[in-house]
Amino acid sequence: MPQFIYRAMDADGSIIPGNMDAHNAPDLELRLQRMALDLIDYRETRQRKPLFGSRAVKRRDLINLCFHLEQMSSAGVPLLDGLRDLRDSTDHLRLREIITDLVEKIEGGLQLSSALAAYPEIFDPGFTSLVRAGEQSGKVNEIFRDLAENLKWQDELAAQARKAVTYPAFVLLVVVGVMFFLMIYLVPQLTAFIKNMGQELPFHTRALIALSDFFIHYWYLLLAMPVLLWQGTLWQLRRSERTAFAFDRLLLRIVPVLHKLVMARFATYFALMYAAGIPVLECIRLSEGIANNRVVAAAMRRARELIAEGHGVAAAFRQAGLFPPLVVRMLRVGESTGALDATLRNVAYFYNREVRERIERMQAMIEPAMTVVLGLLLGWIMLSVLGPIYDTISSIRI
């Protein structure tokens, strides 16, 4: 289906740009009319316009979508009517475009899960598989409720991670700015006075002067180095699958909370999909895509292969490695009792709580650590500058 970039006008007379899939120009105009927009001009393009800024569908938009559909389906409102109500009430232009297309696809005979699968960048395979399982079991409202709760958990966890990173990043920026000011402006003035004393300088003072000279002559390298290192790392990760695999393994080792976060995500999604009636092998296959870590995904793939060969679920995950004893133990209990989803929810609860506590402890430790680093930096400068001055004054005889 062609992609059109358009400009339209809403009821208030505001010009709204956008992009949308349509069969032709009349189809584009009809779709915009359903969104209460009047087409002004358009052009066809073969390249899908990337979604940035306010046009990107964020996690909170998906939470609102799931909550709305859960409430509507629980009240007995037909799916199409619920989607039309959401389309007419949302202010998010991109989401309105997507819902308009979903309505058209469902009116054309597709199920909701098949219509959602046309937007894999927004609705991942796990999301669409859960909706498909809900359609088959007649429990779509419960699926949307579980999806909304899971997305809320992810949003809260992301908010905590941002909170834990924002303050240290600000403090680090201030420390770097203070260091540049001291090394480029203040230290040269003080060292010029120290050199005029004519005495031999201690090692830490000479090191400070050398570092200050490096800042003065190569400041552009210091500013460009982090950017070049970051871009080079991203380029190498995209270029080499082996490097990306090794990088993911390194992350799991140096950031322990990341391993627990991946286990929490895996247990949550696995429990949701298994409770919805999705087969175990399919649950594991879909979990590989949401792991966001190649090492964990490879371990899941190995476990899936072992289960397909006839091994038990717990035994397969134990032989695959990487999965903590708690996960394997709870899988064994769930496998023997037939309540695999309940035991995995317990695992998810345990890891969710531990991840939250780890993030809070990290935030509490980073703040004093940054203060100590700044204090040591200032102490080194003061010692290197005032030490020779004090020695000179002490050697003066009155």
Kindly report the CATH number assigned to the domain that includes residue 317.
1.20.81.30
Same domain, 36 and 115: no
d(CA 140, CA 333): 28
Q: Is residue 69 part of a domain?
A: yes
From 49, 66, 87, give the residue that closes a domain.
49
Per-residue pLDDT of the chain (398 residues; tens, 9 = 90+): 677 788 888 777 778 787 777 777 787 788 787 777 788 887 877 655 444 444 678 888 899 999 998 998 888 888 888 888 888 888 788 888 888 888 888 988 889 989 998 888 888 888 888 888 888 888 888 889 988 888 888 888 777 777 767 777 787 788 788 888 888 887 787 777 776 766 677 788 788 888 888 988 888 888 899 899 989 988 988 888 899 999 999 988 888 788 888 888 888 888 888 888 888 888 888 888 777 788 988 999 999 999 999 888 899 999 988 888 888 898 899 888 888 888 888 888 888 888 888 877 877 787 788 778 778 877 887 787 777 777 766 666 55
From 134, 151, 168, give the residue that closes a domain.
151
Q: Is residue 78 part of a domain?
A: yes
Q: Is residue 161 part of a domain?
A: no
Same domain, 217 and 270: yes
In 14-67 the beta strands, taken as DSSP E runs, fall at 15-21, 38-45
Same domain, 340 and 370: yes
CA-based angle 214:183:226, to the nearest 5?
60
Query: Token pair of 321, please?
Result: 């490695």
Q: Is residue 162 part of a domain?
A: no
d(CA 58, CA 91): 13
> Crossing angle of helices 140-181/340-395, nearest 10°?
10
Same domain, 227 and 332: yes
- How far, CA to CA in Å, does 52 sit from each of 16, 41, 145? 15, 22, 28
Position 360 scores a pLDDT of: 78
> Which residues have C-beta within 8 Å of that of residue 196, sequence separation ≥ 6?
none
Same domain, 242 and 391: yes
Same domain, 293 and 324: yes
Same domain, 22 and 65: no
Q: Is residue 171 part of a domain?
A: no
Rg of the chain (C-alpha set): 29
> Which residues have C-beta within 8 Å of that of residue 309, sequence separation ≥ 6?
none
Domain that holds residue 90: 57-151
Q: Is residue 160 part of a domain?
A: no
d(CA 121, CA 100): 17
d(CA 154, CA 157): 5
DSSP 53: G
Query: Token pair of 233, please?
Result: 């790392």
DSSP 184: I
Same domain, 241 and 361: yes
Kind plus residue range of the DSSP H or E element containing 301:
helix 294-308
pTM of the model: 0.69
Same domain, 114 and 215: no
Same domain, 78 and 25: no
Same domain, 299 and 320: yes
CA-based angle 182:188:191, to the nearest 5?
115
User: Helix, strand, coil: what percent of the chain each, to 5?
Assistant: 75, 5, 20
Q: Is residue 257 part of a domain?
A: yes
Number of domains in the chain: 3
CA-based angle 139:142:144, to the nearest 5?
110
Same domain, 38 and 68: no
Position 323 scores a pLDDT of: 86
Q: Is residue 169 part of a domain?
A: no
Find out whether 355 and 260 touch, Cβ atoms under 8 Å. Answer: yes
